[in-house]
Chains A and B, each alone.
Chain A
């Protein structure tokens, strides 16, 4: 029904409801002013003198006001700022063109031509480009995923991202108070966070955490954890490192449902610096507004839809169930229901309420109203899990091609880099010069479990087109048109 209203009526309605307080305030102020002006100056003076201002009364009132103000400011949560972030740029020599991937697959899976065919079909429709990267161990024929190679990849990715971040923010290693590293599938002892502490000689009283096994949405879980810690520790900063190490997890078997991750997952990582210090208020790029986490693990189907297991030959891989997209849709709906009231303008919320009531009371045949999230956000960073995920979200949230451009182009250039893909997308938007002060960004990530996590950021200052970034040498070539099927 709302689709049938003429555009200007809808605009007028939105303007009215969103600024209702202003609209109510103005007439009241006007009426009061008129009343005051009607009374002459002597009358105003007599009214003023009639108010007996007792000294004690004044003292008590001001004390009360101060008390209330103090309690308010003390109980307000600290503002968390994102000072800056850096993404890992893989070396050009580790790129994997489609045909090389297919040849290697053919050489390794000599006895399973059907599995090779399957991989070729996935790759053709994947939305990936010819410049995505795999770590050196996977370039060997056959792949040679040793623990040493996995550590090598972790060091290359994480240290490179942190070095770039330190260069951008001029922070000293000894000033880092909290360290959180998330990497789902590679969890050695000592942990990756210990590896970072060792390399950069961080303080001995650092609060370090290592999150593993939490899937592609772990990046936002780390941000949430950092936020909670920064509420407890005043005047601190937190270094969050999100990555996924491909080397030990390249599936070497031939089960089709488990070959899918091989086609999509690629090397990548990001390092983010969060702070609650007053001094960083002006130089920080973004302010964290909300983090909303939704976990559908209580449902058995959702729990098993991304499942690591052994195939009949004993090779370990990640099994993706066929219901993945449906479950992702459900998780998204839950997440939106929670985040909607926090971010949507009053007009959208009111409309949603009216339609909801209408469906319940008047006519269940009315189409459920999908709130227009484009009113609440200027930019969207959808986890580049695969072309299907981005298509599905674009359809569900009714986003335009430009809104999902960052996600699609990140998938094309870097592939699915798991938890760090959101940061590559944000970097794309900055590199294109589209980020302005006051813009609101919505990052959505899905992950095994099944989880759907969202983070809302607000741009804190003017952002110049960055000269250090993963897109610096190729941003001019983007956006590219990605065909439905790339004929191999």
Chain B
């Protein structure tokens, strides 16, 4: 039964024409993410008095206004003579799809699964000639009995999840108040700061090796059907988890604790022998590199966490391993990686999410401050990093409208379907009494 019906698809164009012959080159961190794309879905309540299509129209007009500040989004991909991707700002615009769904947004959120949620985003694979291919897609679905879902899809070449969230916030500010509170910043990645380099600094070999290993690997195989579940962990249970790992609460962050927990559980579910399964963590390096929140582009870096020799129940060891890696990812280390990538000039982009279990730290992503209307915070924010190949993905997200220092988290887990079932029944997870916000697809009874 088609619950979401398509209304129309069009191109949204910025209100101010772009200056001709402008190019936006992409950084090495951007180019390495070529194989991936993102989906973000935000759900809102909407006032009942509005006529159908009215809010969509307002959103579209605000979008056009907002695009005037993001010429990189309305441009198109082109290869430079050296064979690198760049964006030619030719004012072509962004695609927008409008749709309608039956029922209300609350009903929808009650029985949600991965397949249903992905109906709320629109995505087109890169064309053979990407010069005619829109890099960003927006889908606005109005629920007949109240509520609206806004889905943003974009290529990972241009934006990572924090950046895409910044875009949603900019759009929301434009819809609500007619101007952007924090305008975006477009500039290349910072270079190494001369004063801060330690003398005789050892290059961060492990990080570089990790990326090298990905580049050298063959393309992954897409065969297992993946499922995604969303779990919500309350503050007290996360604290309990942390104290379970070490006696001092302050020595572990929620991310480290939850990442360690899931690492151990997923390894158990997969039946990995001789240690924990291969895992990479993915962290936002904006603060580390001293970049502002409004920086547009990719700034998330992956790093391998070594699970060899850690037994299945040793949560403490797992957390320690993660902490070590996080500490080592400092400005100098990232600089080493950036310089190596620039020197390497690889033509064949790697599958960054294609092999190991990936654990992504999106705790600072501020999607709940994207208000399109007065006092209407998003009911939920879902993130997907596609395509879902590899061992699995764990995204650790913040909670809506919580106090800043709360330890409650929402975790989105993507694994092969049978493994997800086992994970939900695992004792360690059950101990923390998570609320299942999105579960497995219910079989028709």
Contact = CB atoms under 8 A, between A and B. Distances in A.
A and B form one complex: yes
A281 B132 CA distance: 56
A89 interface: no
A139 B11 contact: yes
Contacts of B12: 93
A103 B17 CA distance: 17
B61 A100 contact: no
B156 interface: no
B11 A95 contact: no
B10 A140 contact: yes
B10 A139 contact: yes
Contacts of A93: 12-13, 15, 60-61, 64
Contacts of A144: 8
Interface in B368-404: none
A141 B9 contact: yes
The secondary-structure label for the interface of chain A is helix
Interface of A: 92-93, 95-100, 102-104, 106-107, 130-131, 136, 139-141, 144, 488
A131 B18 CA distance: 11
B13 A140 contact: no
Contact of B93 (A97, A106, A131, A488): A97
Contacts of B9: 140-141
Given A93-B61, A140-B8, A144-B8, A100 B132 contact: no
Nearest to B76: A99
Interface residues of B, number: 20
Given A93-B64, A106-B132, A100 B92 contact: yes
Contacts of B18: 97
B90 interface: yes
Nearest to B97: A141
B160 interface: no
Given A92-B15, A93-B64, A130-B17, A99 B91 contact: yes
B15 A100 contact: no
Interface string B3-23: 000001111110101100000
A100 B13 CA distance: 8
Contacts of A102: 132
24 contacts: A92-B15, A92-B64, A93-B12, A93-B13, A93-B15, A95-B13, A95-B15, A96-B13, A97-B90, A97-B93, A98-B90, A99-B76, A99-B90, A100-B11, A100-B93, A102-B132, A107-B132, A130-B17, A131-B17, A141-B9, A141-B10, A141-B11, A141-B95, A144-B8
Contact of B11 (A98, A104, A131): A104
Contacts of A100: 11, 13, 91-93
B48 to A, nearest CB: 26
Nearest to B64: A93
Given A93-B12, A136-B10, A141-B9, 8 more contacts: A93-B64, A97-B90, A98-B90, A100-B91, A104-B11, A130-B91, A139-B11, A488-B90
Nearest to A104: B11
B132 A97 contact: no
